[in-house]
Structure 1
Amino acid sequence: MLPRTPRTPRPLWKHALRTLAVLLLTAAATLAPTAAAQAGTAPSRGWNDFSCKPSAAHPRPVVLVHGTFGNAVDNWLGLAPYLVDRGYCVFSLDYGQLPGVPFFHGLGPVDKSAEQLDAYVDRVLAATGAAEADLVGHSQGGMMPRYYLKFLGGAAKVNALVGIAPDNHGTTLNGLTKLLPYFPGAEDLLSASTPGLADQIAGSPLLTKLNAGGDTVPGVRYTVIATRYDEVVTPYRSGFLSGPDVDNIVLQDLCALDLSEHVAIGTVDRVVMHEVNNALDPAHATPTTCLSAIG
C-alpha cells in the first residue's frame, strides 16, 4: 500500500462553511414538502395497497426490501411515500424472521429469505397484473435479491434492482454489529442463532456461491448507490457490482455535502430518493444534486 500524502489543514472558515452547508441541507430535507407540485396527480393511497394498478407512466410495481434488523415499515417511512407520491405502486415485505423475535428481521439464512422474496414478488405481480417488478433494497436488502435473480428464476420477473449501500461482496462481523445502536434491543439477538449475519461476512459460503461466475445476470439493470461514510459495509466500494447494465454511484459524487452513513442513506436521505427515482425511470431522469433534497 502506498503511503498517504499528508493533507494540508483546511482553514477554520472552510470547516465552518462546510458544517453550515450540511446543516442547511439536512434542514431542507427534513422540512421539504412531499412533491407538492405533483399533488394534483399523485395517488391518494399508500403503499402495500394490493388494489393498486400500475400506470402507463410507471408500469412496474416497486418492491422494497429492508435491511438487516429492519422491517417492512420502519425502513421505508421515507422512500415508500416518496415513490407513491410520484405515481408508483409500492410494496414492501418482511423477510428473514427468527422465531420469537419481533420487529428485527433479515436475520434468517439469505437463501431462505430469497425464497420469501420470490413468493412475495409473485403475489405482487398477480395482484397488479404486471409482467415484471422493480426491486429497491437497503443493505442486505440490496444484496439478497441477487440470490433470487440468479438461482430462483427472478431474472424473468424483474426489470431492475436498485441497491442502497448493499453488501454485495460482504463485510466484517464488526461492521454488522455497528448497526446495533440504531436498533435498541437488537444487541440481545447476538446470543441467538443469526445465520443472516454469518451469510453477510466477506468470504462466507453464501457470498462465494452468489458471486461465482459473475455479479450479474442478463436482462436485469443494476444500480448501486454507496456512501463514502458507510461504517457497516467496509470498504464501501465492496458494494459495487461488475458486469453489463451496472451503474455504480457514490452519493458524495452527487452531493459532496451529504454525510449520510449506512442507515441514513437508506432511510431518510432525499438526495438518494431522487436518484432511486432516476434509476426506476431512466427515460425521465433529471440531474441529482444537493438541491434534490428539497425536490
Structure 2
Amino acid sequence: MLSWKRALRPLAALLLTAVVTLTPAAAASASPAPSSGWNNYSCKPSTTHPRPVVLVHGTLGNSVDNWLALAPYLVKRGYCVFSLDYGQLPGVPFFHGLGPIDKSAEQLDTYVDKVLAATGAPEADLVGHSQGGMMPRHYLKFLGGADKVNALIGLAPDNHGTTLSGLTRLLPYFPGAADLLSATTPGLADQMAGSAFLTKLNAGGDTVPGVRYTVISTRYDEVVTPYRSQYLAGPDVRNVLVQDLCSVDLSEHVAIGLWDRIAYHEVANALDPARATPTTCGSVFD
C-alpha cells in the first residue's frame, strides 16, 4: 500500500501547477544557471557516437534543471549533448512545458534543425522525460521529424495520457475546471487521458517507420498513471520496466528522469544497442 506521503504527491504536483499558473508575476525573471559540458555547438559527433543527443525536458522542467545528472552522464560517454526549452508561457520563467504541445513540437523541430546544422550529422537521437518523451512523437508523425531522428527514448513518457492517479477524473465535478486548465496551461490539458491532442496523436498507431522507440518506466510512477499506459506498441519498440532490471529500484516519476542511473544505463543501451551491456542494480556504479 502506498504511504500517505506518496499518495499526496499527485495533489502536490497539481498545487504546484496552480501556483505557477495563477501567480506568474511572483516568479523572478532570472534564467537557469548555464549548463556545463553540454550545449556545446562546436562538438562534432565521433565515429563511435555519430549522432547528437537532444534532451527534451518534462512539464514544469527546463533545459538545465531536468538534465543536471543525465547530460554529464552522456557527455562523459562521448556524446554531443544538447537540450532545449519549450512550451514557455508569458511571464513564467523556469517552469516550461506548459504551452500547447503541438506548438512545443514545432519548437523541437526548429531546435533539431539547429543541432544538425551545427554538428553536421544527418540524424539525431532524442531522449525525453515525461511530456518530453511523448511530445516528440507529434514531431515525428506530423512535422517530418522521422527523416531526422534515429531513436526516441522516453523516461516515464505519458504516451497515452495520465489520470494523475485518478485526480483528473474529478474535473467533471467542478464546473469550468477543465476549461480553466485548457486556457491557462494547455500543455497540461493536452496530457490528460482522452484529450483531443492524444486522440489525434495515437490514431492509426503509436509509431512511425524508420524510428527506434524505447520506453523506460517505473512501477512507482505516481504522475503518469497507470504506468503501463506509457508503453508503445509497434515495430522497433522496446518497453522497459526498471524494476525488472533491479527489483530494489524505488524511483518514481521525477527520480527516473533526474537521477536514476539504472534508467540512465538503459538510455545508453538504447542510444548504442550494438554496444549494450546488461543493466543490473550494479549499474548505479557505471
Normalised to the residue count of structure 2, the TM-score between the two structures is 0.82
Cα offset, 1:248, TM superposition: 0.3
The reply on whether 1:156 has 2:165 as its aligned counterpart is: no
2:145 and 2:182 mapped to 1: Cα distance?
Answer: 34
Q: Read off the aligned partner of 2:71 and give its amino acid letter.
A: A
Shift of 1:256: 0.3
- One-letter amino acid of the structure 2 residue matched with residue 140 of structure 1: Q
Q: Show CA shifts across 1:52-106 (max 9, x none).
A: 0000000000000000000000000000000000000000000000000000000
1:243 and 2:228 equivalent?
Answer: no
Map of 2:79 onto structure 1: 88
Q: Deviations over 1:239-283 (max 9, x none)?
A: 000000000000100100000000000010011111100000000
- Deviation (angstroms), 1:190: 7.1
Aligned residues: 240
Alignment pair present for 1:208 and 2:206: no
Unpaired runs of at least 5, structure 2: 1-35, 169-179
- Between structure 1 and structure 2, the one with the greater Rg is 1
Counterpart Cα distance in 2 of 1:266 and 1:247? 18
Asked if structure 2 preserves the Cα contact closer than 8 Å seen for 1:125 and 1:133, the reply is yes
In the alignment, structure 1 segments of 5+ residues that lack a partner are: 1-44, 178-188
Residue type of the partner of 1:229? Y
Deviation (angstroms), 1:176: 8.4
Counterpart residue identity of residue 230, structure 2: G
Q: 1:133 is matched by which residue type in structure 2?
A: A
Match of 2:184 in 1: 193
Whether the 8 Å CA contact 1:271–1:290 is kept in 2: the answer is yes
| Letter matched to residue 123 of structure 1 | K
Q: Is the 8 A contact 1:107 1:195 kept in 2?
A: yes
The superposition leaves residues 116-145 of structure 1 with CA deviations (integer Å, 9 ceiling, x where unpaired) of 000000000000000000000000000000
CA pair 256-106 structure 1, distance change in 2 beyond 3 A:
same
1:284 maps to which of 265, 275, 281: 275
Contact 1:175 1:232 (8 Å CA) reproduced: no
Aligned residues with identical type, % of pairs: 82
Corresponding residue number in structure 2 for 1:234:
225
The alignment partner of 2:153 has SS state of: strand
Q: Does 1:137 align with 2:128?
A: yes
Distance 2:99 2:182 in 1: 14
Cα deviation, residue 110, structure 1? 0.3
- What is the DSSP-based 3-state SS (H/G/I as helix, E as strand, rest coil) of the residue aligned with 1:142? helix
Inter-partner Cα distance in structure 1 for 2:107 and 2:163? 25
The 8 Å contact of residues 182 and 189 in structure 2, kept in 1 or not, is answered as no
User: Which residue does the alignment assign to 2:174?
Assistant: none
Change (3 A) 1:175 1:166: farther
For residue 252 of structure 1, give the secondary structure of its aligned residue in structure 2.
Answer: helix
Does the residue aligned with 2:184 lie in a helix, a strand or coil? Answer: coil
- Output the amino acid matched with 1:269: D
Cα distance between partner residues in 2 of 1:274 and 1:173: 27
* Superposition map of 1:175-194 within 5 A: 193-194=184-185
**How far is 1:206 from its partner?**
0.1
Counterpart residue number, 2:46? 55
State the secondary structure of the residue aligned to 1:249: strand
Answering whether residue 142 of structure 2 is matched by residue 166 of structure 1, we say no
Letter in 2 for 1:122: D
- Structure 2 counterpart SS, 1:50: coil
Contact 2:216–2:241 (Cα < 8 Å) also in 1: yes
Residues 175 and 233, structure 1, Cα contact 8 Å, conserved in 2: no
Three-state SS of the structure 2 residue aligned to 1:161 is: strand
Give the secondary-structure state (helix, strand or coil) at the position aligned to 1:81. Answer: helix
Contact 1:173–1:197, Cα closer than 8 Å, also in 2? no
TM superposition score normalised by structure 1? 0.79
Post-superposition shift, 1:173? Answer: 5.2
CA distance in 2, matches of 1:190, 1:243: 32
Q: Aligned partners of 2:185 and 2:69: how far apart in 1? A: 28
Structure 2 counterpart of 1:75, which letter? N
Q: Does 1:222 pair with 2:213?
A: yes
Deviation at 1:228, TM superposition (A): 0.1
Q: Which residue in the other structure is 1:21 paired with?
A: none
